[in-house]
A and B are shown apart, each in its own frame.
Chain A
Amino acid sequence: MAPPRLRRPGFSRRAQYGLFAAYVVAVAGIVVALLLLAAARFDPQGFAVLRSAATDLTAPITGAARSAVDGVGSAGDGISAYWRAGSQNAELRRELEASRAKLVEARAIDFENRRLKRLLGIVGDGRETVAVVRIVGSTASSSRRLVTLSAGGSSGVKTGQPVRSAEGLIGRVVESGRISARALLITDASSTVPVQIIRSGVAALATGQGNGRIDLRPLIAGASPFRRGDVVMTTGAGGVFPAGIPVAVVTKVSRDGAEAMPLADPAKLDFAVVLKPFQPDLPPPPPANTAP
């Protein structure tokens, strides 16, 4: 059976030409869209203006809705805690979570102190706050894991800045509008963060899996250096992410790596902190030039 040609809307020439023109436009549009995608591959920031304008327009609405939802959500939490084991349980759990985060941070600081003593005067402090922002929404239907932040260029938030919370690293800013920005979570499959195990200092790479978990790969080949419950933190290698921010806790050890859960859950956060991009160490000054 021969495949039929275009749908014929009767004998009217005008209708036939109209239909043909519609197909021409559609196919040309597909080609243009594919070209846009090719352009996005080589220049990811190419259409950021368009998208951040759209985010700027809608972020205030999402933000307002978010504050309403927050109240409802916490009420639900309280009720469920009561029904599960009483309000005491909820309080204890909150305390435990807070102290665990503090413990992790203390360990990280301890480790960093020892390292700094060794490298005294070489590594600069990268922890300078740019802005404290709210996380108002996310791209819940896309396979990219982006969150919308409630501040943008007018608050100093720029592309490339790392975002963290009290619990741990969240991600980095990839698009910035006037009053809103978008950050790529560390759980996105295209995000890679250099980390090290706090217990042993072994370096690894943390890559998102796109489903809320993180894949850990050690830099050195051999048996997996991870143990269940290990916490990894950023090393600061390669810049962008300052050293010593807790990232994830190992939940499953495999033969050559491990699977980890991020310590900061963006869904439960009230506030996040945007930091200045970390510059690991200044290159040696060129002989005749003035280094910034």
Chain B
Amino acid sequence: MTSGPRQRVIGLDDVDLLPRRARWVPIVSVMAGSLVTLLPIVADWPMLPPIGLLLLLAWRLLRPEMWPSWIALPLGLFDDLFSGQPIGSAMALWTIVFVAFDMMDNRAVWRDYWMDWLAAAAAILFCLGGGVGLVAFTTGGGNLLSIVPQAVITILLFPAAMRLCAALDRWRLAR
């Protein structure tokens, strides 16, 4: 009903105080990241980092209270439609990561840049490895070694994704 006192961290609850793009920019940026797989690259090796996942993690770690944990469900479904993974794979893995991040936030006393990177690296390894596992479960045949280069590239790209999200964050909250 009536909006309560202004919170310290800007979240979706008081989004009516903000420009309309404040709500949509994070979601649209993650969806655009999922669509990067449409680039006309024909790869015989999983070499393209999952940009959608990278941006999702960056937003989640940058703004822990912006999203409820179920937001990973629709975004994961959108990613599954284009990534070639079986439908449900990113839905399940991304949401598990979000719930795990919430538990981590409850336990962790402090957090800094390196902790964020470490958490993101763990999430990336979980999602890529889990993706291979779920492909092996649904269609058979899996090779964990083949995603090692992709995982390394993705983990190294995470600070860049964080930068990008920080820039987008400044823009979306600017009046």
Contacts and interface: CB of A to CB of B under 8 A. Distances in A.
A130 to B, nearest CB: 21
A26 B99 contact: yes
Interface string A1-40: 0011111000010000011001101110110111111001
A41 to B, nearest CB: 5
B76 A33 contact: yes
A109 interface: no
B107 interface: yes
Interface stretch (B83-91, B112-120, B161-169): B83-91
A40 B131 contact: no
Interface in A59-99: 61-63, 65-66, 69
Contacts, number: 188
Contacts of A262: 44
Given A33-B91, A37-B86, A190 B45 contact: no
Chain B interface main SS type: helix
A140 B143 contact: no
Given A12-B4, A54-B82, A65-B40, A41 B49 contact: no
A136 B40 contact: yes
B38 A58 contact: yes
B88 A141 contact: no
Interface of B: 4, 35-51, 68-70, 72-73, 76, 81-89, 91-92, 95-96, 98-99, 102-103, 105-107, 128, 131-132, 134-143, 145-147, 150
Interface of A: 3-7, 12, 18-19, 22-23, 25-27, 29-30, 32-37, 40-41, 44, 47, 50-51, 54-55, 58, 61-63, 65-66, 69, 135-147, 182, 185, 187-191, 207-212, 262, 265-267, 269
